[in-house]
Structure 1
Amino acid sequence: MRLPEHLELLLTDEPVLDVYAHGPWRVPDGLLETVAERVDALAADPRGAGLTTEQHMLLRLPASLVLAEVMGILAFLPGGGAIKGGSRCQLSERLLGPHLAKPPRLSDRMTMWEAPGGRWRPPGDWLLEAPDRKLAIELARDCLGALEGIEPLEGRRRALLRLYDEPPPCDVDLPKADLLELWARHADGEVLAAVPELLGPVGYLEWVCAGLLAARERLTAAAPRDEALDRHLSRLLLQAEMEHVPAELMVALGEERYREVAARFPGDRREFKAGPWQEETRSWLLRALLEGEADACRAWLDMAMRFTAVVQGLPGEPWFPKNEYLPVALFQTDLRRMFAPRRRVVNPLTARLRVPEPRKEAGELRPALETSLVGQPELVAALAEAAGARGPVRLLVAGPDGTGKRDAAQELARSLPLPRDPLWVTDNLFAGQRLTDAVARLHADARDCAAERLLVIEGLDAIVTDPGNGEALARELRQLLSIHPGLNVVALCDADGDARVREVDPALPLRFRVARTRPFTVAEHAELFRRELAARDVRATRQALAAAGALLAATPPLQSLRNARLAAHLADLVLAGLAGDLVRKPDIPGTLDTAGHPGNPLTELADLTGLHTVKQEISLLVAGTRADRMRAAAGVRVSVPTRHMVFTGNPGTGKTMVARLVGRIYKKLGVLSSGHLVEATRAHLVGEYIGQTAPRTRRLVERALGGVLFIDEAYTLTQSPHKDDYGHEAIAELVKMMEDHRDDLIVIVAGYQREMASFLAANPGLESRFPKQLHFPDYTDEELLEVFARLAAEAGFGLGENLPGALAGMLRRVPRGPSFGNGRLMRNLLDVAIANQSERVASADRAARRAGREPRVTRKDLVTLRAEDLPPLPELPQELLGLYL
């Protein structure tokens, strides 16, 4: 029995705002203080000077109309009558505390809750009393802007801002009621979906009833209750102390259901008692909660509270619910009572009175675990042993990704007689943390799981090999296994991960039963493919399964697309072109291109504009690779060359494009297994804290294995003025990984020519590991024109006869230098030209229609760019670079 993960925050003592319709949210430290400062600054804005009222009952008098407006918005944003709870639910009190006439005592209890009303409406409430309506509406919008950042309120806040940005065309000095009605009618479907109160009281009641009935149906299915729907609604009205059934419910419920509720209401009213009804409802919600319907319970409470607020406010808008008996606080208490971690003491009777287990005869087999794993005999044997053992589970599974490690942990968790679902933790949860915080988390997880749930640690090898905290965490885990003898642990590692753990702490692997997985055989790949088809209600012939197994076994992995995941990928590809429900051998493709790049990369390289020297150098590299393959075939010994490269040149000269083609070229030549490109900058490699950089760099390189790692502006790794910068640590780790994986990885570093020379000199081992340096020169004017024409053609446009000359004249006047964008500038100029052309043809069409003429915009006009569509050249031509880069 476990609370849904997105609700587990409610079991903590963190600062939480829990708007039921959104879900619990951890309030960032200092956020409410920042929002309060924004509100105070807006209240002190000179535009609002003198805008006060003596009529406000909660603010100090004279009360600022701006603060009164903010208080109204805060009551409206959660929803009309919506429940907001948690230790930070008192938003008005926390944001406006110094301005309140009687500041209340703030509560940090997690079971605290409120249900604010919803009478505020755009474009404003209190501020509309100001003499200048335009200023009032402007200030009301600024009030919404000041409340930015409170995540549970953001969706409704942004929807309301859309109304202010696209207001209805009307006189702002209309009577207030008429103005509010006009703005509400102007809201589109997207705004109404976020703010259904703008539908008006009856429309909002209809929306609430739809949600209420859906939540009740879900709860009744999980926790049956002897209560007809008409009685359910009748008693909801009575707990709200209604004297009659509102006629508006006929619209919300339909005539037949309304008459059923109205007929039952008088009889229920004579016998209804709010206290017993509250306890009965609490018991119903608790039963549903324990059946796993926490979200449905919260949805019913939220809709029931809104229902109360609406019917009490009729015929007007919903207001703060009063005299309601909905068990909100009781439900929140029950949720913590049932799911929060509890202290336990062993009852001595459990050992004294336990029935002894029957003794096993010598040689009797332990019960086998029924597993759905394909292949992996070593892991299957370890699972059976773990499931049948009397002691705690201590299993370490090492192997390639996608070979069933996670499935094995899940199957083992289902077989163990533990009261709670497993707890999964990953290496990312510990990366970059302070040692004390990381150790505290590990201890807390162990305490939470002891004798109650299976602890699954993904990436144990990554955790213990972290250069910052790894060794200490390995030691702590080893000690925890002794401190908690009932702790069940499954640790998952990459291939040879157990060996890496042993290098850090030789004693730690001895505490585990180690099982290894391996890549799948052809037959096992065929079985995986068969299962994927079966899950889609499709069959396959034996010949098709054999062909699929052979294809999958021969397909190199691409990052996370490997092993079992390849079978699902192939199934999707095959079914996309399948007519019936039987896969035959001809339906299986001859090759499986996981990179998804059709076409010949060498041809694409040759078709690129300019770059003649670059093309020639890459042709020489290709020729050298082919010659090495011929030598190897002839029995000549060939050493694996270093293929890492340096690309230098200004922005927009095609470095990234060529790097992507290099990966595909070497994939076609059989040098790289996948040929994909992983782009990175300094931010992807360098961490913010001690111990973050090496693991971050290592994970990035592992993503690029089989392809090309392209590091743009690589010189920034050595340019920081701070002594404690971690760029050099990233370079050291990168150099090591480049050497370890030189047979299936190409690293390309790129940047300005002078800066890259300094970068290579920063580390003694760098220059020797980048034997090939290619310079990408700036494009000539003629080449830039060719680039512009090619990009336009790819976008479906042709060039008018005057455009090339105009563009050439523009390029002649623009200075060249490091900031010149080359091809990037051409792409951006094309975007501007297309936008200008769209405005031009649309204006011509509008002018023709106003004059009563047939539109004269031809198809050729729609796809032709003219000289006049180019942006104007600034008086200082160098400013063009700043405007369009």
Structure 2
Amino acid sequence: MPNLPDELNVLFTDEPVLHILGGRKPWRYPDGWLEKTRAKAHALITDPAFADVTVTRKGSTFKPSVPVLAVALWDLVWMLYPPLAAVVGGGRNLYGQLVGPYLKTPPVLKNDGWSSNSVGRFAPPPAFESTAGQPELREKLVAFHSDALALLEEVEPLEPRRTVLAGLWDRVASDEELLAAHRTSSRSELITLWQDTFFTDDAAFDAFPEQTRNPLDLLLVGVARLQAAHEAIAGHTPETDRTFNETMAALVHQVERVDVPAGLSYTVLGADGAAEVQRLFERQADEVDRVKWRRRQEAWLARAVEAGAARLAEEWLAALYLTGGCLAGLPDRAEESGQLNLPWKFLGSLRAVYELRPRPAKPAPTTPEIQPVPTAPEQSNDPEAELANLIGLTEVKACVAELVAEAKVAGLRAAAGVRPPTATRHLIFTGNAGTGKTTVARLLGGIYRKYGALSSGQLVEVGRADLVGEFVGKTAPMVERVIERALGGVLFIDEAYALAEGGKNDLGPEVLSTLIAAMENHRDDLVVVMAGYPAEMETLLDSNPGLRSRVARSIHFPDYTDEEMLAIFRLLAAESGFEVAGETAEKVTTTLHRLPRAPGFGNGRAARSLLERLSARQAVRVAGLVDPAPEEVRQLLVQDLPPVSGSTLAAGGAVVAVGPEAELERLVGLDEVKKIARELAAEAKAETLRIRAGMPPTDRSRHLVFLGNPGTGKTTVARILAGIYRDLGLLGSGQLIEVTRTDLIAEYLGQTAPRVRKVVQRALGGVLFIDEAYSLNDSQSYGAEAIATLVQEIEEHRGELVVVMAGYEREMKLLLDANSGLRSRFPTVLTFPDYSRGELQTIYADLASTAGYTLEPGLLTGVSALIEPFRGMLGFGNGRLARTAFEQTILRQATRITQLADPAPDQVRSLLKADLPDRLAGDIEDASPYL
């Protein structure tokens, strides 16, 4: 079996690892180290002495106006990485990890590839510029660097450079002349001081070879490392057809130089070696194929790994990246080349060896068959069979079948000598999260590999952050690097619409331009799949005319049905070893149905989240059992489901669970409204029973019209009905979305319909409550467009939404008469009468009791006297007037009791007739249950 060093195995786990190719062994973040070190870094960054010193680094990942020491720490840690280093592992972005709270998008510990480090000249941080004329703060900056470097003593890959740099800063702190220069010199003067004074001795040069003034110094280091690694690897995998000088000549071509730099004669090549490289360079000029060159080097590195020379191959790759960058940048400083993207394939070779299992020397003895715990169906190695076994996705499978048929025929045509132009295979996948888009893309890659349409079929998944660089000039190389990783397979760009959502100076369009060129140039060995929400993806296609013509088709992934969601839940449970009893499955179906199918709905992820919550609650239950049997540990029961009923604050502040039907009965008055609401609830319950009995669902509209004055409880009853429908499984989440005319009607032509659709999307799974809906009945504005769009949306989402239109009786009847489509879709009309004098007194008393007040006898009669003059007026406020009276009473009571010397608790709680206002004033919006 090939020998992969144990120290490299950690690269293929989910452990947070930082590894610099060609450096020390991979370093795993110790448990708790990042949190502890980040806290220490935050303490340094938030030094009160620098509280007013902030900086905005334009075009960077930093948030606007961050503490200047956050930028200083980023630059300091970044400088500890060797020049043009290829860095791998989930913890490779240590500088970003330490200053994450100050970044627009904090990095995550994700082992998903590699990154490179550019070459920069050392420069004291912008803090030295920001603190000009403040010598005390300048001196604190020197101490900051020493303290910050001390935080990183454990980070082994950075230790050689950290030790040298820490010594240089300590030298500044201990040398009064140097310290005085740092107190008063300009930043440019300090840069010169460091170059001329600090990086000139051998120890500093060995650690920081890129900091000398002569770029040939770094080239000398790179070529020497590359030659030593090349010769060492040749001892393991002899390459008789390729000398080191041939490799150097090809490398000069690869970095897109038109000449061999004269400086090569000063390296280990010498004058004769450089001259031979020149001759070889000219001989190779007519056969330059950069893709072929990369693949040849990848194969060579793979053979080195297989031969047990993985660390030598790693060193060769690191030296190649450094040498190539020096060649690309001459005569100026080194700069990375986008044509040296080999680390990803090298890591693939390491992974292949890491995952390789040795064959047993003898056949394993047969063991008696043991009945296993229920598990998920075994996955087939055939991607077509795996696709067929996916839950749901009928239309998606049909579209993929057409793509597969095209791939099969292409193979038959090639065998028959027919070679039509290669058809574009790039795709758009639209739909909510968790609908299987990534899975289908992965299987499609395997199917295309099976029929020869792709060479390797691997899936490379990326997002905007993997494609858009921090600075101008960084984006195109990042995209090219990703494309190189994906060649031969499928490049899956999640939330691709984000590439077209930036502002004027956004770099997303540069990504699209580079991507389009690659889609065309590599159409025979690359499939690009861009995924996202339907409307946003349409906007993306419109943003670049060349993109739409290069996409073969768009495939929509619908949300899963309740039955499919339950099947996914069962599959996930089986994979985890759980058993789902029949009653539990029925309750799970109800819970899943209550999830609103709005944009952002998680689909399969929602099923997984529910299982995780069930598992957590089941763990609590099982932990309380005495010596539970294995079957008890495996079983998920109804009581393990998370609660779904709401709760309200009862008197005294305790949280008491109150079902929506019980909440309805507690409302004051509204006898006829309650009666109809009970009938609606009974009808909904009967519907669920019919469905369970296998009967088809009733095609009945549940949309409502509420008539009445303000403050009669219309909004509250709508919210309660939403809860009843939710608990019965007829609505998803049961939320109430309340809107008015201004939320639905836009100012300009063409904007109203999208606004209505957006409101409906927010309300899916619940109740959309349109207050003063009669205001949509106008012929001078866009009300008719709003109504027409609303009617269309009601039809499209009839099982996912209840719409309640509310307003005054006369005006609402005019609205229904004006649009016949509304009346047929709103068959139930509830009239909310004004509250009687006694009911308003009860409402006032309930408000006072809930707030902890006691009432003087006769006070409620005074409340009625305050409210009664308003009765009969248009827009009589009902419960709102009761709340207004209550609030104005406690305001006057506050004035009274604060004048008492030492009021007793009973005096503080008492509301007296003297506290009542002389008259009601104002129009306070009510937030009570009587709104």
Q: Which bracket does the TM-score occupy, shorter chain normalised? A: 0.3 to 0.5
Per the normalisation by structure 2, the TM-score is: 0.39
Per the normalisation by structure 1, the TM-score is: 0.41
